[in-house]
Amino acid sequence: MPSDLFQDPNVRMLTQWIDESERITVLTGAGISTDSGIPDFRGPNGIWTKNPKAEKASNIQNFVSDPEVRKASWRDRLDNRAWSADPNDGHRALVQLEKRNKLVALLTQNVDGLHHAAGSSGTKVVEVHGTLREVACLECTYRDDMQIALDRVRQGEEDLDCPECGGILKSATISFGQSLVQRDLLKAEAAAQNCDLMVAIGTTLAVYPIAAVVPAAQRVGAKIAIVNAEPTEMDHLADVIIRESISQVLPIIVGGAMNLPEEGDTQDASHPK
């Protein structure tokens, strides 16, 4: 881990704020999973940048109306990076934040399930855009493990229908044009209003309504921290911005100020005092 991260004044400040805070709400986006080998959507190596057809499949109207879009989507599901990806140190750091009894909620825009895989509690994680790990029917309440559906694809089925009602099956993710789950939105709103520190990690804060939790938290007096490699839509609201590798910096800021070397100390970062 680069030792200069320990000397970054913004890193040291956020580390102190986490120590001092009692109620922290975290919002994560695709950027926290890129170090696990899962590409983002619109970056230079993004899923939609490289495969525009995949973006077309993310619109519910296209998915429902065009069998060819559904067939391509199911083929793409077979090789999704999420099946072979492991949580990284960024995901694991947020588990430690929960263990420190400071975490109000972990709101995530990600559908890869890596927060759960890292060990975050199901009572804390709110997957506002759904999950890739399950399959759901668009007509009835049928829901099951995604791998059961993918086994059907491997056996030769191209356009999957519901085993209970015959309706269209898709991943249990929220596509463009679909409504978010009201219960999850209410949880996110409550978490924003009940925090003294909001930390947005790996998200451009451009997708609504979930991005609205940041100004909502600010309105109740919470400090706002943004950890993201690139500028976001809400940098102007931030009290501190950190542009470092998420998987490298999160373990530092969650670890606590007592683990930071004295300012100016150039000791190896892997052996903090």
Counting the structural domains of the chain, the total is 2
How far, in Å, CA of 170 to CA of 163, rounded? 13
pLDDT at 93 over 60: yes
CATH for 210: 3.40.50.1220
115 noted as active-site residue = no
Domain containing residue 50: CATH number: 3.30.1600.10
Query: For residue 161, what are its two tokens?
Result: 């229908």
Q: Is the pLDDT of residue 272 over 90?
A: no
Q: Are 98 and 61 within one domain?
A: no
- CA–CA distance, 101 with 16 (Å, rounded to integer): 16
The active-site residue, picked from 91, 115, 129, 271, is 129
- Please report the pLDDT score of residue 164 as a whole number: 97
SS3 at position 178: coil
pLDDT in tens, 94-116: 999 999 999 999 999 999 999 99
Q: Print the domain residue range for 51.
A: 41-84+130-173
Closest CA to 42 of 30, 32, 60, 33: 30
Local confidence band at 52 (pLDDT 50, 70, 90 cut-offs): low
Q: How distant, in Å, are the alpha carbons of 13, 26, 112, 163 from that of 102?
A: 17, 11, 24, 43
Identify whether residues 121 and 237 lie together within a single domain: yes
H/E stretch holding 197: strand 197-201
Q: Are residues 107 and 160 in the same domain?
A: no
Residue pair 249/5 in contact (Cβ under 8 Å)? The answer is yes
DSSP string, 118-182: HT--TTTEEETTEEEEEEEESSSS-EEEHHHHHHHHHTT-SS-B-TTT--BEEEEE--BTSPPPH
State which amino acid sits at residue 134. E
- 99 with 147, same domain: the answer is no
Model confidence over 244-260: pLDDT tens digits? 999 999 999 998 766 66
The reply to whether 240 and 153 lie within a common domain is no
